[in-house]
């Protein structure tokens, strides 16, 4: 039998852990390698990177956000309210970091490679990496399914 609450939780867990894996790849491999692209091709590379990355991160981030909010009303029995709020606060931090720290760095980099903006991007992305990792562990604590 279909259980809507269980399906919501599984979708939430899947989107969160998808983003945990992706953010660690971005932090350890992808962002550091931006420095190796080369200055002539960098602006075009960065613009393509941002456009294509949106397709990879946009849907799971929106699914994660909508399911995180939905868990406030449709919580599986063993999931504690503090777990939902802890996850939502981490998500708020992630979205704020994206908007106010990483997007401005990408805007600068879309014009040309800027070593300072690149360093700031890699350094500030640790905030998202740690916040998503925290979210992943909170989801693991929600052992209701």
What are the tens digits of pLDDT across the range 17-75? 999 999 999 999 999 999 999 888 999 999 999 999 999 999 999 999 999 999 999 99
Query: Is 90 exceeded by the pLDDT of residue 77?
Result: no
CA 92 from centre of chain: 11
* Residue 144 pLDDT: 54
Kindly report the length of the chain: 145
Contact yes or no for 48/13 (Cβ under 8 A): no
Q: Where are the beta strands (DSSP E) in the chain?
A: none
Please tell me the distance from the alpha carbon of residue 113 to that of residue 79, in angstroms, as a whole number: 45
pLDDT, the chain, mean: 95
Please tell me the distance from the alpha carbon of residue 84 to that of residue 70, in angstroms, as a whole number: 10
Please tell me the distance from the alpha carbon of residue 17 to that of residue 15, in angstroms, as a whole number: 6
Query: Is 60 exceeded by the pLDDT of residue 145?
Result: no
């Amino acid at each position: 039998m279909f259980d809507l609450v269980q399906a919501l939780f599984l979708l939430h867990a899947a989107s969160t852990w998808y983003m945990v894996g992706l953010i660690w790849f971005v932090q350890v491999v992808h962002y550091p390698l931006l420095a190796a692209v080369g200055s002539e091709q960098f602006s075009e590379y960065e613009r393509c990177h941002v456009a294509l990355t949106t397709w990879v991160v946009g849907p799971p981030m929106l699914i994660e956000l909508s399911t995180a909010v939905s868990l406030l009303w449709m919580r599986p029995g063993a999931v504690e309210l503090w777990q939902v709020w802890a996850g939502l606060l981490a998500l708020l931090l992630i979205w704020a970091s994206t908007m106010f720290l990483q997007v401005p760095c990408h805007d600068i980099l879309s014009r040309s490679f800027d070593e300072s903006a690149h360093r700031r991007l890699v350094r500030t992305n640790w905030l998202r990496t740690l916040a998503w990792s925290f979210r992943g562990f909170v989801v693991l604590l929600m052992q209701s399914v």
